Amino acid sequence: MRKTMVAGNWKMNKNLQEGVALAQELTSALKGTTPRCEVVIGTPFIHLATVAQVIKDSPIRLSAENCSDKVSGAYTGEVSAEMVKSTGAEYCILGHSERRAYYHEDNELLKEKVLRALENGLKVIFCIGEVKEEREAGKQNEVVKSQLEGSLFNLSDEQFANITLAYEPVWAIGTGLTATPEQAQEMHAYIRSLLASKYGEQRANDTTILYGGSCNAKNAAELFANPDVDGGLIGGASLKAPDFLTIINAR
Given candidates 66, 68, 147, 214, which one binds ligand PGA under the rule CB under 6 A? 214
Phi, psi of 227 (to 5 degrees): -60, -30
Does residue number 233 form part of the binding site for ligand PGA (CB under 6 A)? yes
Other CB atoms within 10 Å distance of the CB of residue 176: 9
Out of 236, 245, 248, 250, the only residue in the binding site for ligand PGA (CB under 6 A) is 236
**Alpha carbons 174 and 236: distance in angstroms, whole number:** 7
What are the residues whose beta carbons fall under 8 Å from the beta carbon of 140, sequence distance 6 or more?
130, 134, 169, 187
Packing angle, helices 181-199 and 140-151, rounded to 10? 40
60 or 172, CB closer to ligand PGA? 172
Residue 44 within binding range of ligand PGA, rule CB under 6 A = no
The one segment of 138-146, 183-191, 229-237, 242-250 that binds ligand PGA by CB under 6 A = 229-237
Quick check: is 188 catalytic?
no
Q: Is 142 a catalytic residue?
A: no
Position 247, amino acid: I
Q: How far is the CB of 97 from ligand PGA (least distance, A)?
A: 7
In the chain the first and final C-alpha atoms are separated, in Å, by: 14
Active-site hit among 38, 96, 105, 130? 96
Neighbouring C-beta atoms of residue 163, cutoff 10 Å: 22
By the rule CB under 6 A, 9 interacts with ligand PGA: yes
Residues numbered 139-178 forming contacts with ligand PGA, rule: CB under 6 A: 168, 173-174
Binders of ligand PGA among 73-132, rule CB under 6 A? none
Binding site for ligand PGA (CB under 6 A): 9, 168, 173-174, 212-215, 233-237
